[in-house]
A and B are shown apart, each in its own frame.
Chain A
Amino acid sequence: MFTHYIDLAWRSLKRTPMVSILMVCAIAIGIGITMTSLSVYHMMSMDPIPSKSDQLFAVQLNTTDEGTDWWTEDNIALQLTYKDAMFLHNQESAFRKTASMKGMATVHMNNDELKPYLAATRVVGHQFFNMFELEFIYGGPWTIEQEQLAAPVIVIDEETSEKHFGRPNSVGEQIYLDDRSYQIVGVTKNWDIHTKYYDLNNGAFSGVESIFLPITLIEAQQLDNSGNTNGWKFEEIDSFESYLQSELVWLQFWVELPDQRTKKDYESFLFAYLEEQGKLDRFERKTPEYKLRDVNEWMEYNRVVSEDNKVLVGLSFLFLAVCLANILGLLLGKFLKRAPEVGVRRALGANKRQIFLQHIIEVSMLGLLGGALGIVVAQIGLWGVRTTNQEYNALASMDLSMLLAAPGIAILACILAGLYPAWLVCRTQPAIYLKTQ
């Protein structure tokens, strides 16, 4: 019977082509606009590393005086000072951890073959790659010894390797950043993540870096931070050494804590560290204050998905509701016009449930067609978003879940709009129409 209802639905749509086209277009526009905003929202808010998002924690330490205002909701800075970050980074532990800084350098080959270009770099510990699941295709991360010695080594991604050497494997080759040369020890896959969750201070969607350097080079080579730097008190900074020892915050710090017990222990460690720093008169604070936030909490805390995005999604659903209200009107007209046929079907043995089902399948088919066309409209919408906002390049796309959701939402929405007309027509008293048809 189900296939028969599908056949009837298709015939019904063909019987009134203009009305059908109008309804499909209305659904398509509503779904297209909804899916455009929903896809961007989905990409922004999706868990960027589901396999371990609850094990990776961003560390925040409050190393300011009591009463200092910060712009975060709990008055704690998002980043750490160099001395705190490096202290935590250098602690021996069974779990992974890394300090991290955003850098910038002119990349070249020290010859005329490749035009130099400015690129963002990421200065990190050797465990960064494992922590954030950045896969190597050749070589691997630098060793702990190389890191401790501040060796001039570097990890690049596949695209950079192809660009400089015309091949993916460039391990052992030299590459130049500004006026220094670095030996390539590893080549990673191109990193395909939408949200740069490991450094939300410097543009959550600004694209990941393709060049990675050891964190110890900051001091050894006096690497500049090209990300955000914030301070809370006046300090005389007249040298790179005084910059490193200042209370300015400019490094991110992440730990990978595999279980609750390790987390508890680490919290105790942070508490003790801050208590000790307080006693050294770095800051005036009665109770040490720190925060460990996992990836999703960190994204929420940093408002990766802004209120504007949420409002936009709400408005797009409102628009879909307006489209559905119009469809409801058209369906009412169409179904009630068919009441005489329904009367005949009732006389021939159809019960109300069968009539209701027949009409619900028809509106579902409308939803399916509208949803399919809606995906096309959404693709145009997403293209528009990408064209007008470069930062949304990686975000303005539909993944498989959104592609499947589009017809699902369309069908559900159409069923919602069709419930009342279908209910009304299935209540038709057959006798009224049989004589007058």
Chain B
Amino acid sequence: MLSMKNISKVYQTEKVQTHALRDFNLEVEEGEFIAVTGPSGSGKTTFLNIAGMLEPFTSGEFSLDGVDIGKLNDNQTADLRNQKIGFIFQGFNLIPDLNLYENIEVPLRYAGIKRSERKLRIEECLEKVGLASRAKHLPQQLSGGQQQRVAIARALAGKPRFLLADEPTGNLDSLMARQVMELLEKINEDGSTIIMVTHDPELARRAPRNIQVVDGQLADFTMYQNKTIEAIAASAPVVEA
């Protein structure tokens, strides 16, 4: 379903070359719920951005549902992103001028969905996240947890096959974080594939599959089980400046 082979991402400035991802390999099957962990700066968000086609990769092969992403132009990428991927961000990224209904409507408009169908889907999604009565509220009139639920509703409205969540509970207190996590689990049970970047080990443990990104490479989580942190650090690849 999602396949990354030897993906590399290099950020180049005049003097410095930074390898954000190197020889990154990942296969994701339909219906999986994957938690992506790793230290800050290890390349988790870069991986998520590339998976969501938000930024190009430097080399390697990336295919989504059999489509070779490297060969798509901007319009095709935007269409594919709109059809197959839903995003949930740490900072919610709701558009402040639009009310909840209109925020959820944004991806549906870009998908060219008719007004009546949009209405149905939006109401359904708001119902799912428990905010049906707040449709006309602006984002700033909601709590952080509620805003994140709106973001989840927006991600779900397009009926994407993938949900990419970048620290979705990072800005929430533990109670709200738990509620959001329960919502994601419910969505996963309904059939959506979820890849979630998180720093929270407790949330990561709740995901059926855990992967760890260390220095731009995918580490096999199971191989580190029962090892000390020092041992894990010693086995990590060396990054050249």
Contacts and interface: CB of A to CB of B under 8 A. Distances in A.
Contact of B106 (A15, A348, A430, A434): A348
Interface string A7-50: 00001100100000000000000000000000000000000000
A437 B78 contact: no
B91 A347 contact: no
Interface string A305-342: 00000000000000000000000000000000000110
A430 B91 contact: no
B82 A352 contact: no
Interface string B83-120: 10001011101110100000000110111000000000
B145 interface: no
Contact of A351 (B55, B75, B87, B109): B75
A180 interface: no
A53 B78 CA distance: 58
A355 to B, nearest CB: 10
A76 interface: no
A348 B107 contact: yes
Nearest to A351: B78
Size bracket of the B interface = 20 to 34
A349 B79 contact: yes
Contacts of B75: 351-353
B55 A349 contact: no
Contacts of B81: 347-349
B74 A351 contact: yes
Interface string A418-431: 00000000000111
Given A347-B81, A351-B74, A435-B91, A430 B54 contact: yes
Given A341-B95, A434-B89, A437-B93, A346 B54 contact: yes
B54 A354 contact: no
Contacts of A349: 78-79, 81-83, 107, 110-111, 158
B47 to A, nearest CB: 11
Given A348-B154, A352-B74, A4 B52 contact: no
Contacts of B107: 348-349
B166 interface: yes
B45 interface: yes
B6 interface: no
A345 B90 contact: no
A351 B80 CA distance: 11
A436 B78 CA distance: 21
A435 to B, nearest CB: 6
Contacts of B109: 1, 4
B97 A434 contact: no
B91 A437 contact: yes
A164 B31 CA distance: 97
Nearest to A349: B82
25 contacts: A1-B109, A11-B97, A12-B97, A15-B97, A340-B93, A343-B93, A344-B93, A344-B94, A345-B95, A348-B82, A348-B87, A348-B154, A349-B78, A349-B79, A349-B83, A349-B110, A351-B78, A351-B79, A352-B75, A354-B78, A431-B55, A434-B54, A435-B45, A435-B90, A435-B91
- Report, nearest first, the 9 A-B pairs whose CB atoms are least far apart: A349-B82, A351-B78, A349-B110, A348-B107, A431-B54, A431-B49, A431-B55, A344-B93, A351-B75
Given A4-B109, A351-B79, A435-B90, 11 more contacts: A347-B93, A348-B81, A348-B107, A348-B154, A349-B110, A351-B74, A352-B75, A430-B54, A434-B49, A434-B93, A436-B91
